[in-house]
Amino acid sequence: MAISDFFGKLKPSEVFTVQPNNVEVVRGSTVTLECAIDQTVTSQFTTDPAEELIQWAKGKLGLGFPPLRRERYSQEVGPISYSLTITDVQAEDEDDFECQFTSEGIRSKNARLTTIIAPENLQITSNAASLIDSLSDDPEIVTVIEGVEAVIDCTSIKAKPSAIPKWESSFSGSEFRGPWEVYDEETKTSNATRQLRFVPKLEQDGMSVQCDAEHPALEETMIVEKKIRVFYPPKTSIKLPATPILSGSEIAIECALEGANPAVREYRWMIDGEIVEHEIENVLKLEVAAEHNQAQISCEAFNGVENAQRPSSGNLEVFFAPILAEKSKRIGVDPTDTEVSIFCDFFSNPSPQINWFLDDQHLGSGSSLILDARTNPVVPGSYRCIAENELGSSAEEILVVVKGPPTITSSNQQSTSALMCEFLSEPAPKVVEIRNLETNEIIEIGENVEFENLEIVKVENLPIGIYECKVENDFGSTSARISLYGNGLGASTKLGIIVGVLVVAIAMVLFSLIKMKVISNTRRFKLNQLPENDSNGDLESNRRSIVISKPFLQKHQSNPLHVLDSQLDAILDNHVEVRYSDINPSDSGSTHRSAADDGYATESGSNNKIAASIGSNFTNYEFEQTSNPNSASCQTKLKVIWDDSLPEDFETNGFFVTNYRKQRSISQV
């Protein structure tokens, strides 16, 4: 029989003497939801208190009759109290609960159980973590960077409801932002954040910041306080040597540290922006070279703070002797050119003084030289530019060549297995040919030979013989005979040569001893550009006085001396006068120089030799007159050397080794 049949329709208030109420429970605590029924009602229905009459519902689901299967949940079984107890309340316990009289379908009012969770932590952090690769592990420290806006967050962690932080500290120019809440569905909790923003200064290092938060689950306000540590990147300066820096010296450059927090870990050096490898200390040792002049030396120090400052830098001033930067290449002069320009560019510190010379003649100053062919013909030769400053000098040569037929300058007799044909040609040769004159065979000089800058041809492993070197350009061709003797000689040949040399040496010694008695003093002079004679052999136009000082003419002088006219001009006394007219014109033939002349009147048929007026019988290889300055007749010895001959072209006794022809003029003997 239903209760409603016995009592009629009952109201909850008539059945439940106590109904559950809304409640907030701190997570982890124990809560009891009250439910009691009038015993007169239940006694009419049953006398067994264990009979299933009352159950609890959580949300829309019944929890079942006691004993309950859900952990931490328990229910009383009457006869009056049917309360529900929950131990160690968690966030998932939060819900609507009701006590139900199931057989009659009578329910108590809803009771809302709300779980509240105190924040796990209240913490202070800063944005410096993104600017510093390793922060302090000290939990009492919050790190900021000088001059970089600090964003310091105060955050309550995993609270329900949210625990809103509040800053208790402020600085000049500071501002507060927030709060922001972030809900976690899984834990049913929220993080709440409020920001403090300001630009740190060094004087704020060591000051404190404080943040607090209140929460219903907390009996006291949560407070967190930290000290500010102001980090800043290293402040450095470059210290260069105080004394002048010379090229080639080793210097020490210091990266002076003015301050850093935290301490410096390593240094980095750069030269003109290029990193110097393996240099991590605060002193850079550098071997200075000329290219370091005005180089920018920079250093950076690293302490883990992102370097918001530029590296410290300074410029080196290096002092060094002149160094060639660029110069003219070989110059080919056309006879129609009105001027020729050549240049030498040097760099040095201090700046160089540049002078130009042709042989010993000073031509001008500056980095360039202009040869005016309208007033004087361009003289071919090796033009020398010399750059000088207080630290040294540097010299370069530029070859100026007049356009014309090639000139072959290599030796006519060569004693190696490689034939060398050296020549000068402007313009560049079109043909360079080596021919074996004994077999008339043309020798291959190489494959794909470029003649544009060719000045020498070398052919290896040729047999002993006579060869012809022929060079041709747009102005003509020139050839020369070259005798190749090779490297190897047999034992008998070597012995014969040794014996022959000994015989010749003995003969020369005997000849010198005899000659010393006859010719006590000899003198050698250069005839500077004497005019050629006419066909009648008239030497009248060649008269010229040369003053000779007796102190220069010493007795028993076996070898000719070399004396320039400039030395003779300085003689003031103890002199004798000798004239070229002392050479008897009637004894002379034509002195016209042929194109094949060797410069020493030895070319057969090219020059008739002059016999001395004193009646001496001279050979075709000597063009001399001799005198004894101690005798009354005062004879003279002259030796003719043409101006375009080089000293290396003749032996110590004055005779030419070979038939050289040079394009440049030599003023020294």
Instruction: Identify the weakest region by mean pLDDT among 27-31, 91-95, 364-368, 422-426.
Output: 422-426
Residues 92 and 127 in one domain: no
Residues 6+ apart with CB under 8 A from 494: none
Give the Cβ contact number of residue 327 at 10 Å.
15
Residues 249 and 136 in one domain: yes
| Alpha-carbon gap, residue 536 to 451, rounded angstroms | 46
Residues 163 and 299 in one domain: yes
Mean pLDDT: which of 141-150, 298-307, 511-520, 646-655 is highest? 141-150
Residues 221 and 179 in one domain: yes
- Report the residue count for the chain: 669
**pLDDT (0 to 100) of residue 633:** 37
Q: State pLDDT tens for residues 531-585.
A: 333 333 333 333 233 333 333 333 333 344 343 444 333 333 333 333 333 333 3
Residues 131 and 269 in one domain: yes
Residues 6+ apart with CB under 8 A from 390: 350
Instruction: Identify the weakest region by mean pLDDT among 31-40, 425-434, 532-541.
Output: 532-541
Residues 184 and 276 in one domain: yes
Domain stop point among 71, 96, 116: 116
Amino acid at 390: E
- Overall pTM > 0.75: no
Residue 490 lies in a domain: no
**DSSP string for 217-240:** T-SS-EEEEEEEEEEEEEEEEEE-
Residue 552 lies in a domain: yes
C-alpha radius of gyration, the chain, whole number: 58
The pLDDT of 343-371, averaged and rounded, is: 94
Paired strand residues for 113: 23, 95
Phi, psi of 601 (to 5 degrees): 60, 40
Residue 181 clears pLDDT 90, i.e. is over it? yes
Residue 347 lies in a domain: yes
Residues 390 and 422 in one domain: no
Helix (H) or strand (E) holding 513: helix 491-518
| Alpha-carbon gap, residue 96 to 519, rounded angstroms | 148
**pLDDT (0 to 100) of residue 572:** 31
Residues 110 and 152 in one domain: no
If pLDDT is split at 50, 70 and 90, which confidence band does 156 have? Answer: very high
Residue 137 lies in a domain: yes
The average confidence (pLDDT) of the chain is: 75
Residues 246 and 339 in one domain: no
* Strand order through the sheet with 312-315: 274-275, 266-271, 296-302, 312-315
Query: How many domains does the chain divide into?
Result: 5
Q: Which 3 state secondary structure label does DSSP give 210?
A: strand
Domain stop point among 360, 377, 402: 402
Residue 493 lies in a domain: no
Amino acid at 434: I
Higher pLDDT, residue 429 or 591: 429
Residues 6+ apart with CB under 8 A from 324: 344, 345, 346, 387, 394, 396
Higher pLDDT, residue 94 or 516: 94
CB half-sphere exposure, 308, CA atoms < 13 A: 13
CATH of the domain at 456: 2.60.40.10
Q: State pLDDT tens for residues 68-81.
A: 999 999 999 878 89
Residue 491 lies in a domain: no
Residue 489 lies in a domain: no
Residues 560 and 600 in one domain: yes
If pLDDT is split at 50, 70 and 90, which confidence band does 449 have? Answer: low
Domain stop point among 467, 484, 501: 484
Say whether the peptide bond before residue 67 is cis (omega within 30 degrees of 0): yes
Cα distances from 276 to residues 296, 431, 574, in angstroms, run: 12, 53, 73
Q: Are 554 and 521 in contact (CB under 8 A)?
A: yes
Residue 387 lies in a domain: yes
Structural domain range at position 435: 404-484
CA–CA–CA angle 156, 162, 163 (5° rounding): 50
Residue 85 clears pLDDT 70, i.e. is over it? yes
Residues 474 and 599 in one domain: no
Residues 528 and 669 in one domain: yes
The pLDDT of 209-226, averaged and rounded, is: 93
Cα distances from 160 to residues 86, 163, 167, in angstroms, run: 19, 7, 20
Single out the residue of 25, 27, 137, 17 nearest to residue 82, CA to CA: 17
| Alpha-carbon gap, residue 4 to 491, rounded angstroms | 154
Cα distances from 668 to residues 363, 419, 426, in angstroms, run: 17, 30, 26
Higher pLDDT, residue 569 or 438: 438
